[in-house]
């Protein structure tokens, strides 16, 4: 009889262990599913936002290059529209990558050239040619930047070195 009780207790402990493992596995599955769903939603909004960024760039260019003598009320209206669009995109997690004065980071920046500078350390972003944006920790579009380089020494024969 005691052998039978020991056998049943062992089977019960084994069943309980299987149940606890299954419950933990199911809980982990639910967490992974929720995370995957959130990532899908974020990636979908990132794709849409990425498609809207060229229009936002064009609006910024229009403001930066407004013609002389244009009605100030029109300019204020355009500025308000740009701000509203930026706020709407910001509500979905869009943040501008601030680049000028920072050290070059290939995850955030795309370097397209350099400027000679003796007052800034090498690989410091000196100018931004196109704004970069990210959503939380994911870069939607890297910033196009120029980097600082120390002035190059001229070759002894007066020719400039290759760049």
Asked whether residue 9 is assigned to any structural domain, the reply reads no
Span between the terminal Cα atoms of the chain, in Å: 90
Asked whether residue 19 is assigned to any structural domain, the reply reads no
pLDDT in tens, 59-74: 999 999 988 888 999 9
Low-confidence ranges of the chain (pLDDT < 70): 152-163
3-state secondary structure of 26: helix
Half-sphere exposure of 81 (CA within 13 A, CB side): 14
Q: Which domain holds residue 112?
A: 96-163
Q: Are 146 and 113 in contact (CB under 8 A)?
A: yes
Asked whether residue 78 is assigned to any structural domain, the reply reads no
Asked whether residue 49 is assigned to any structural domain, the reply reads no
Q: Are 88 and 119 in contact (CB under 8 A)?
A: no
pTM of the model: 0.67
Whichever domain contains 104, its CATH number is: 2.30.22.10
């Amino acid at each position: 009889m005691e052998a039978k009780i020991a056998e049943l207790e062992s089977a019960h402990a084994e069943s309980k262990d299987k149940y606890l493992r299954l419950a933990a596995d199911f809980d982990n599955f639910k967490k992974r599913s929720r995370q995957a769903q959130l990532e899908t939603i974020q990636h979908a909004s990132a794709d849409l936002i990425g498609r809207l960024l060229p229009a936002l760039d064009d609006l910024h260019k229009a403001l930066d290059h407004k013609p002389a003598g244009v009605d100030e009320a029109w300019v204020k209206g355009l500025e308000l529209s740009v701000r509203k669009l930026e706020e709407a995109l910001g509500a979905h997690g869009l943040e501008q990558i601030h680049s000028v004065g920072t050290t070059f980071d290939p995850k955030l920046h795309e370097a397209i050239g350099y400027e000679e500078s003796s007052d800034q350390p090498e690989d410091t972003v000196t100018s931004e040619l196109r704004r970069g944006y990210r959503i939380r920790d994911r870069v939607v579009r890297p910033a196009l930047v120029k980097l600082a380089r120390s002035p190059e020494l001229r070759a002894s024969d007066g020719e400039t070195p290759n760049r």
